[in-house]
Amino acid sequence: MKYSRWLVIIPYFFLATLPLCWLLLTSLKTQEAAISSTASLIPTTAENLAPGDLSFSVTLDAYRKLATPHTGKAHAFFHYLLNSVIIGLLSTLTSVVLGTGCAYGFSRFRIAGARDWLFFILSTRFLPPLAVVVPVLMMYRVFNLPNTHLGLILLYTAFNLSLAVWLMKGFIDEIPRAYEEAALVDGYSPLQAFYKIILPHSATGMAVTAVFCLISAWNEYGFALALNNAEAVTVPVYFAGLQGNIQGIPWPQIAAGVLIFVVPIAVFTVLVRNHLLRGVTFGTIKQ
Amino acid sequence: MPFLELQNLQKTYPDGTRAVRGIDLQVDKGEFIVLLGPSGCGKTTTLRMIAGLEDPTGGQITLDNQNVTHLPPSQRDIGFVFQFYALYPHMTVQKNIAFPLENIGTSPADIEAALNRVARALGVEALLDQYPRQLSGGDQQRVSLARAMVRTPDIYLMDEPLGTLDAEHRLELRAFIRRQQLSLSITAIYVTHDQEEAMSLADRIVVMDGGKIRQIGSPSEIYNHPADLFVANFVGSPGMNLLNGQLVQHGDSLTFTRPDSDIHIPIHANIAPMRSVLTQRHEDTKTQSSMASKQVVLGMRPEFIRPANRGIPGDVILSEYQGSHGYVHIDTPIGELVMRSTDRFAIGEKIHLHLNETHIRLFDPDTGTALA
């Protein structure tokens, strides 16, 4: 039993990390080696390798070039990465804060038509978001929102809020009311009880919600493309825009950029994974 | 002026459930009041309204000369002990206990002193650095009591605090609460459905049913003079024997009988006011019969029935042995009776019973209320 687990896990690990390994190898190659018709797999420091050799000489050029604007582009990769970071983090933050507040309200207070409101909130996810790209674009023009960070932050918050409300409501529903009531009778106001009791207990839920919101904002392409052509261009749009580049597609730079792009999400997810393992309920209230 | 006063207190939930239907209660300072009743009788709702955790839909609550009816819990000086402890899971025992002091500007030295005082009183000094999930139920409830007591509030409200504990911890904590009550004369409202707990803790018991108070009285009043059939049956384990029959007057003597039996139980002189009840009824109905009678329910505690050489005949149908004593169920011509006895009887044994007439209680079968 003990070994049969590894019989599954090890092959799957290689299968799952294969694309990442390929990215890593490509990012270390020269443009010529990257587009060569024979694949070279083994990184070496040796120079002047024969064509068709299984080895390739390692270079960090691709990473260096990320700092300078590519031909035909206004900014270097890191500029677009910063756009992604700003838009991703702020929209995630707004979604989690608003979602938590909204979920707390639905979970703890009597709200007229609560079930209908919750269904309405969920229903905003029934359509693929791109179905509304034209009206959104027209509204945004009125408010001068295209080509702004704010525009994408608002949009991603709106898309992610339904998910955040539903996820957070599930988590907050699990927190026994008795904890808050204990804080109330211990002399704390409802707001203080929310801060001191509910928030620490919903940390796990907020972390999970944040991962989902961040990943969805981080990867979004359609709206980012439709709403921006200059200022708030995010990484996915930037990479796609390199197609048809006069110098050809700079694969090593794209590979290097994608790796850098993936790292924050991977780190974030691993952090939250630890949080998840701590468990949602603490099991001290038997009900 | 009572310390705590409930006037016509009512709670109707938005779904129309009338949990509490008008409660009047006055509690003096230093009194230990137990709200006793079956689940769903409104006792917990009443307690939560006193705490401010539920907003009353009618009536008034006065605490220490202040109308607190609609005040938030934080503005009432109360200590609340929850049935499921409700310790903050993300805080150590120490932090849990100190929590009520932390937002009222208590100095760290005073917090430390108060913490040590209650930790010693409740025997939780060794647990201060642990988290609630590491403690047994009994220890968690001790910590919860410590948290309620750290502030010395005006009034303690306890919602079945011993309900989930095992028997050993329950008796131990019950004795502790009683000692605290005796030494510190705390004012407390304690909710339970366990009448034994109510008897052993209360200065006065408030028996509730269906959102209303059935009776308020000392444990012995409640036990010996139940105000109605509900209290008679609910209090006591097992409850009072209740027999349907007729109260009949023969000249000067009153007896209890059943039309289908020739057994007559003499009714003691202490129920003499019954005579006037009977006479009154007799005149009202303008009956010309020389023999007045009235439908009644006769109540008798199991411990006031004993086996005798003659008396009411019966067959033993069940015997519940409980160590120091037992309960014997006997089928008699006037109905099934439960007798408390230290002797043991075999099932099917034929015995005679004697009822101690000074402990007979009579109830009106229509209204359920005690007569005389």
Instruction: With beta carbons under 8 A apart, name residues in chain A contacting B99.
Output: 183, 186
The number of beta carbons lying within 10 Å of the beta carbon of residue A37 is 6
How far apart (Å, rounded) are the C-alpha atoms in residues B59 and A125?
47
Chain B: closest CA distance from residue A178 (Å):
6
Q: How far is CA B300 from CA A192, B229, B237, B359, in A?
A: 55, 11, 13, 7
**Please, which pLDDT band fits residue A279 given cuts at 50, 70 and 90?**
very low
Chain A: closest CA distance from residue B139 (Å):
12
CB contact under 8 A, A184 and B73: yes
Q: Looking at residue A69, what DSSP letter applies? A: P
Contact B241, B338 (CB under 8 A): yes
B58 and B203, same domain (yes or no): yes
**Please, which pLDDT band fits residue A130 given cuts at 50, 70 and 90?**
confident
Give the residue from B234, B249, B284 where a domain finishes. B234
B88 and B71, same domain (yes or no): yes
**Domain encompassing residue B133:** 4-234
B273: domain CATH number is: 2.40.50.140
What pLDDT, in 10s, does the model give residues B162-206?
A: 888 888 888 888 888 888 888 888 899 999 999 889 999 999 999
Instruction: With beta carbons under 8 A apart, name residues in chain A contacting B85.
Output: 284-285
Asked if pLDDT for residue B293 goes beyond 80, the answer is: no
What pLDDT, in 10s, does the model give residues B130-154?
A: 999 999 888 898 899 899 888 888 8
Asked if pLDDT for residue A56 goes beyond 80, the answer is: yes
B170 lies within 8 A of chain A by CB:
no
Which chain A residue's Cα is nearest to B146? Answer: A186
Angle, helices A77-108/A149-173, rounded to nearest 10 degrees:
40
B193 and B280, same domain (yes or no): no
B214 and B251, same domain (yes or no): no
CB contact under 8 A, B151 and A187: yes
Segment A9-19 shows an average pLDDT of 92
What pLDDT, in 10s, does the model give residues A238-261?
A: 988 888 777 778 899 899 999 999
- Total domain count for chain B? 2
Chain B: closest CA distance from residue A208 (Å):
19
Give the residue from B205, B234, B263 where a domain finishes. B234
Asked if pLDDT for residue B279 goes beyond 70, the answer is: no
pLDDT score, position A93: 96
B273 and B159, same domain (yes or no): no
Mean of the per-residue pLDDT values for chain B?
Answer: 87
Chain B: closest CA distance from residue A188 (Å):
6
SS3 A220: coil
Asked if pLDDT for residue B9 goes beyond 60, the answer is: yes
Segment A157-174 shows an average pLDDT of 91
Segment A185-210 shows an average pLDDT of 89
B286 and B147, same domain (yes or no): no
Contact B229, B243 (CB under 8 A): no
B38 and B177, same domain (yes or no): yes
Asked if pLDDT for residue A140 goes beyond 90, the answer is: yes
B15 lies within 8 A of chain A by CB:
no
What pLDDT, in 10s, does the model give residues B236-263?
A: 888 899 999 988 877 777 888 888 888 8
Least confident of A24-38, B10-24, B327-341: A24-38
Asked if pLDDT for residue B56 goes beyond 80, the answer is: yes
pLDDT score, position B272: 53
B345 and B206, same domain (yes or no): no
Which one of 1.10.275.10, 1.20.1070.10, 1.10.3720.10, 3.30.70.141 gives the CATH number of domain A77-277? 1.10.3720.10
CB contact under 8 A, A185 and B53: yes
How far apart (Å, rounded) are the C-alpha atoms in residues B337 and B314?
9
CB contact under 8 A, A189 and B147: no
Q: Which residue has the higher pLDDT, B285 or B61?
A: B61
How far apart (Å, rounded) are the C-alpha atoms in residues A79 and A76?
6
Least confident of A46-55, B319-328, B330-339: A46-55
CB contact under 8 A, B86 and A179: yes
Residue ranges of B 319-338 with Cβ closer than 8 A to chain A:
none
Which one of B88, B134, B166 would you mutate to disrupt binding with A, by most A Cβ within 10 Å of its Cβ? B88
Chain B: closest CA distance from residue A196 (Å):
10
* Predicted structure pTM score: 0.79
Give the residue from B179, B199, B234 where a domain finishes. B234
B62 and B185, same domain (yes or no): yes
Domain boundaries, chain A: 2-59, 77-277
Which chain A residue's Cα is nearest to B131? Answer: A284
B44 and B182, same domain (yes or no): yes
Residue B29 neighbours by CB under 8 Å, 6+ apart:
B3, B185, B187
A199 lies within 8 A of chain B by CB:
no
B174 and B246, same domain (yes or no): no
Q: Looking at residue B160, what DSSP letter applies? A: S
**Please, which pLDDT band fits residue B290 given cuts at 50, 70 and 90?**
very low
pLDDT score, position B330: 94
pLDDT score, position A68: 85
pLDDT score, position B277: 58
Mean of the per-residue pLDDT values for chain A?
Answer: 86
pLDDT score, position A149: 92
A176 lies within 8 A of chain B by CB:
yes
Chain A: closest CA distance from residue B133 (Å):
5
B210: domain CATH number is: 3.40.50.300
pLDDT score, position B280: 54
B223 and B275, same domain (yes or no): no
The burial class, CB within 10 Å (0-12 / 13-18 / 19+), for A191 is: exposed
**Please, which pLDDT band fits residue A36 given cuts at 50, 70 and 90?**
confident
